Copies of this chain bind each other. A is one copy, B any other.
């Protein structure tokens, strides 16, 4: 069976903004990432995206507002909504996304990761 011990998985991640796949549920991936600092605004035209905070605190920015999310809190960003996550200190996040979702959505920049590893 596919038990996933998140704290063990996070030990295998060295870099910020470098998402890894830890599981698949139907046509979606479960991904985790360590994040710190800034990320670029982008949009996923077709697919919604869920961000769950496993550790620390993140801020999700939208063109008109922003919201802070702490451990055990999450946000579902609907498809088509421009957003960018940031974190002042290191934060650990889990994401649920379509298998087709690219981390930088409709943008391509230094953070773009086209091929993700399983850990």
Contact = CB atoms under 8 A, between A and B. Distances in A.
Nearest to A66: B1
A18 interface: no
A48 B23 CA distance: 11
Contact of A25 (B23, B67, B76): B76
| Range, interface on chain A | 20 to 34
A50 interface: yes
A108 interface: no
Copies in the complex: 2
A78 interface: yes
A24 B96 contact: no
Given A54-B72, A72-B54, A98 B26 contact: yes
B74 A3 contact: yes
B1 A74 contact: no
Query: Which 3 pairs show the lowest CB-CB distances between chains A and B?
Result: A2-B76, A25-B48, A25-B50
